[in-house]
Amino acid sequence: MKLFESTSLGQISLKNRIVMAPMTRSRAIGNVPNELMATYYSQRAGAGFIITEGVSPSPNGLGYARIPGLFDQIQAEGWKKVTEAVHAKGARIFVQLMHTGRVSHAANMPADSQILAPSAIALSGQMWTDAQGQQPHPTPKAMTIDEIKIAVGEFARAAELAVDAGFDGVELHAANGYLIEQFLNPSANQRNDEYGGSDENRMRFALEVAEAVARRIGAARVGIRVSPYGVFNDMKPFEGVDQFYAELSRRLSALGLVYVHVVDHSGMGAPPVSPEVKQAIRREFKGVYILSGNYDRASAARDLEAGRGDLVAFGRPFISNPDLVEKLRSGEELKKADPTKFYTPGPEGYTDY
């Protein structure tokens, strides 16, 4: 079965086509990766390819409680424990660079940080903070051109630190309503300078980040995640979304990025992602295509055989089945994950499955 066959991703080889999807788990006390996290990832290194949880490239991107960063040496040293443990088991690992932008609260962030976004539009609803419980999202500060350039530079610097920390590459999180998608989506981006308005302008930040990161560490080590039709964090579908993502994919492909990773959360109650947009991305992006969203052994095998993608990412099944690859091989029944422990500190519901 194709799922278990080795393949390549840019310049690296993968022992199978099973990917561990990026999942925020909020175990990084003080935003620094630790031994517990190294154990968690190493337990799941049956996957050919692991994408870490969202990791902030900047103090400004640490919107959630206990998410890890990758902008200083202490964090990079912490990540070394993770990459060494994963490589020792023959898996490959990229870090997902996630700048939370307006999905944030000051109580979760270090003192010297700011809540930034393309426009000063607050996210609806509330979020968890360890210090003050549930809190409404504050109105972010609309970024100046200087702040945009600084953020681009932070992504490039984080990518450099990632390579130092032993990562095989980075995934840019341009999905799920975080900073990069806040620029892409007109519901969060109402700027009237060169970073807002037209499709061309709303793509500019994503493309500048991709270009800067690719220039710093080589495009063969850079992937990107996108979520057309996604509604998480107040994203809204917009007119011409299929053409928008086709064009974005064409340009990311021209930069030589190694993969595109497409989110589909329809299995989690989100609206469907049109097959047309998936086909358009497949057509325009010449690198590897990672499928994700509610896959099981049968649907993964079917979509790989049909050529809809090259690798298949599994999220929740990896939380509760560290030995997922063996279970998929043998057809053994999968354990269900406990959502009440998704974001709690400590080993419970994390390394004890």
Ligand X SMILES: Cc1cc2nc3c(=O)[nH]c(=O)nc-3n(C[C@H](O)[C@H](O)[C@H](O)COP(=O)(O)O)c2cc1C
Number of residues that bind ligand X (CB under 6 A): 24
Minimum CB distance to ligand X smaller for 9 or for 226: 226
Q: Does position 140 bind ligand X by CB under 6 A?
A: no
Q: Do 41 and 80 contact (CB within 8 A), yes or no? A: no
Contact code string over 267-306 relative to ligand X, x by CB under 6 A: x------------------------xxxx-----------
| Only segment of 5-13, 20-28, 143-151, 246-254 that touches ligand X (CB under 6 A) | 20-28
Distance CA 230, CA 244 (A): 14
The site map against ligand X for 32-71 (x = CB under 6 A) is ---------------------xx-----------------
Judged by CB under 6 A, the stretch of 15-23, 186-194, 250-258, 328-336 that binds ligand X is 15-23
Question: Which region, judged by CB under 6 A, interacts with ligand X, from 73-81, 129-137, 237-245, 259-267?
Answer: 259-267
Could you give the CA distance from residue 265 to residue 280 in angstroms, rounded to a whole number?
A: 18
Query: Residue with CB nearest ligand X?
Result: 315
Residue choice 16, 42, 176, 185 for contact with ligand X (CB under 6 A): 176
Is 195 part of the annotated catalytic residue set? no
Site string for ligand X, 90-109 (x = CB under 6 A): ------x-x-----------
By the rule CB under 6 A, 173 interacts with ligand X: yes
Q: How far is the CB of 295 from ligand X (least distance, A)?
A: 6
Per the residue annotation, which of 40, 41, 64, 178 is the catalytic one?
178
Active site residues: 178
Which residues would be at the binding site for ligand X (CB under 6 A)? 21-24, 53-54, 96, 98, 173, 175-176, 225, 263, 265, 267, 292-295, 314-317, 342
